[in-house]
Structure 1
Amino acid sequence: MSCTPEQTWRPSASLAAIQSRAQQLSYVRDFFASRNVLEVETPVLASHGANDLNIDSVRVDLAPLPGFTSARGWLQSSPEYHMKRLLAAGSGPIYQITRAFRNGERGVRHNPEFSLLEWYRPGFDDLELMAEVATLVCGWLDLQMPQRLTYRDAFCRYAGFDAVTASDSAVAQKCERWVGAELAARLTRDECLDVLMSHEIEPALRHLPPTFLCYYPASQAALAKTSVSESVTVAHRFELYVEGLELCNGYWELTDATEQRRRFEMENRSRHAAGKPDMGIDERLLAAMASGLPPCAGVALGLDRLLMLKLRTRDIADVLSFPVERA
């Protein structure tokens, strides 16, 4: 049953939460100002959405515009592509506080529109960026510095199997407990691993101190560098979990335009197979990478979730003025 305007005109967040958000933004800006990282702004509406199979961008229909070849635009799920173009143009270290959008996502940890902090550090690798993320997050939350746990070790420890060496059928069988045999058989290996991450790994992380999960399967990080560790190709990707809540997603960034094109093409084939719109390939991003994207590491951090942890709430509506159903 839908609520009336008289029931939903008020913000879902308290005045104290709104004030704490303002303090958090000041903290973030002071943090980067002290490190000489430049604040930038990039488009929220652009010609390309996310290629990632697991992200559904929000489509916007536009009137034909000079120089804009499509009457279709996309609200950005991340400012990554544009920020990398700035890096290639010589910006140096940059950060951005922006609104981001993902279609169909609403729950106690999700809203289709959300606040995102994203930053890039030329000359950093993933380990150096993890240290900076830890300083920012744990400084704001007054927590101990995070520990590190590899993706592989997390599955061995908390799901009871090796996610790297297990066969596809064995991974699907592990997934059956949560989604049933019929659906598990239709899911890809990575989709099954994502189910197990949500139902087995993340609940275990709730009882641990802040933890960086790192060295993901190469198939789960299309924009990250890869390397070989223990005879297995892994991606230099990390996520920070605090009380089981995923806060950020970071990469030691891929800088090879040819390899990036190959990965975009592969992702679009996966999107087509799943019945999702083909996002095409952002040729401007690839041109920027080809011109010389500097070696760098980058990370996107959810500011709404960071505030949830600060205010000790498990519902994102408590930190949003107007979630989608009140907007």
Structure 2
Amino acid sequence: MASNNPHDWQPSATRQVLKQRAELMAKIRQFFAERDVMEVETPSLSAATVTDVHLESFSTELLASAHQSNDAQTLYLQTSPEFAMKRLLADGSGCIYQICKAFRNELAGRFHNPEFTMLEWYRVGFDHFQLMAELDQLMQTVLSCQAAQSLTYQQAFIDYVGVDPLTADIEQLKQQVNRHNLDADWILAESDFDTILQYLFAELVETNIGQKSPCFIYNFPASQSALARIDDQDERVSRRFELYFKGIELANGFHELTDADEQARRFTKDNAWRKQHGLAEKPIDDRLLAALQSGLPDCAGVALGLDRLVMLALQQTHIDNVISFSVNKA
């Protein structure tokens, strides 16, 4: 828990680690400069936020004046700069990247601080495979690691869970919970297909892949498409990928959805799920939808947890060790 102990004033990370971190940041900026990708900055506060059912944002109140709290406007700290960056893309920015603070209202842990640093970039004219290749180049540049491996979500599930996620029914998924001796009575009572999929993926796939070299998992189920396009060749899957290395989820990327109407439908569906499960509905970002309506260029984008990447580069075991002040010292 965060505290306000005046004796606990020193940084979470050592001076040496902070120096090494700064050198890594310079190397990353050079990587994008060599590829003519422009660095941008977008707001951390916004009038709207993500509807994603697995993310919770922080909110604050902007007062109209010091004495008129009834006129306060709710603003949200962004879970990623994605929506604002897409507005830049729609306005003709070309290829862009950003290194920024992002905020997610989740408990701090080994790999998560509620305020963290994100690297996000968008490549106009790229599909998800081209962006995966570029991310692989960045990983080799920063970590001096081997080239990444790639597996479809379907193949990874078959290899490590023992069932095809694109054809299995909910009972077949639950059978795998027992077959693998997973202590999860709550998941056996679960009725949401994707919740069970995600549990099995986290327990049996993530723990096995990407141990010696980074591993891409791509073509996620269409039900987990988020802001990615559905694949033209197989409507059961989306053009989405994630990157894992040494037990850490590092990045999440899409061949970006450009259809404003479809994006609006997904946001509305998220809010319906939230309402059904007793979660607060979130304001839909109408400015993003207007930008999509005006024309988002064909592009692919990816968000990468930069603190986690620094952890790997510097062989640190806890996120607190690579950031100046963790949440319990903030």
Tell me the TM-score range normalised by the shorter chain.
Answer: over 0.9
Q: Summarize the Cα distance change of 1:270–1:21 in structure 2 as closer, same or farther, 3 Å threshold.
A: same
Aligned to 1:14: 14
TM-score (norm 1): 0.93
Question: Aligned pair 1:234/2:237, yes or no?
Answer: yes
Q: Summarize the Cα distance change of 1:24–1:8 in structure 2 as closer, same or farther, 3 Å threshold.
A: same
Residue 313 of structure 2 aligns to a residue whose secondary structure is helix
CA-based RMSD of the aligned residues comes to 1.9
Aligned to 1:219: 223
**1:154 CA drift (Å):** 0.7
CA contact (8 A) 1:138 1:144 kept: yes
**1:174 CA drift (Å):** 3.0
TM-score (norm 2): 0.93
Alpha-carbon displacement from aligned partner over 1:89-112 (angstroms, at most 9, x marks no partner): 010001111000000231101110
Residue 168 of structure 2 aligns to a residue whose secondary structure is coil
Aligned to 1:200: 204
Aligned to 1:163: 165
Residue 219 of structure 2 aligns to a residue whose secondary structure is strand
Aligned to 2:194: 190
Aligned to 2:27: 27
Alpha-carbon displacement from aligned partner over 1:272-313 (angstroms, at most 9, x marks no partner): 122222112211111110101100000001110000001112
Residue 137 of structure 2 aligns to a residue whose secondary structure is helix
Of the three residues 254, 261, 266, the one matched with 2:264 is 261
Alpha-carbon displacement from aligned partner over 1:141-198 (angstroms, at most 9, x marks no partner): 0011111101111111111211111111222343465453344323521111221122
CA contact (8 A) 1:172 1:189 kept: no
Structure 1: unaligned runs, 5 residues or longer:
none
Count of aligned pairs between the two proteins: 323
More deviation in 272-281 or 167-176?
Answer: 167-176
Q: d(CA) in 1 for partners of 2:237 and 2:59? A: 33
Alpha-carbon displacement from aligned partner over 1:113-144 (angstroms, at most 9, x marks no partner): 00000000110000111111111111110011
Residue 186 of structure 1 aligns to a residue whose secondary structure is coil
Q: d(CA) in 2 for partners of 1:314 and 1:28? A: 22
Q: d(CA) in 2 for partners of 1:213 and 1:23? A: 29
Aligned to 2:288: 285
Q: d(CA) in 1 for partners of 2:105 and 2:221? A: 26
More deviation in 181-190 or 274-283?
Answer: 181-190
Identity of aligned residues (%): 45
Q: AA paired with 2:43?
A: P
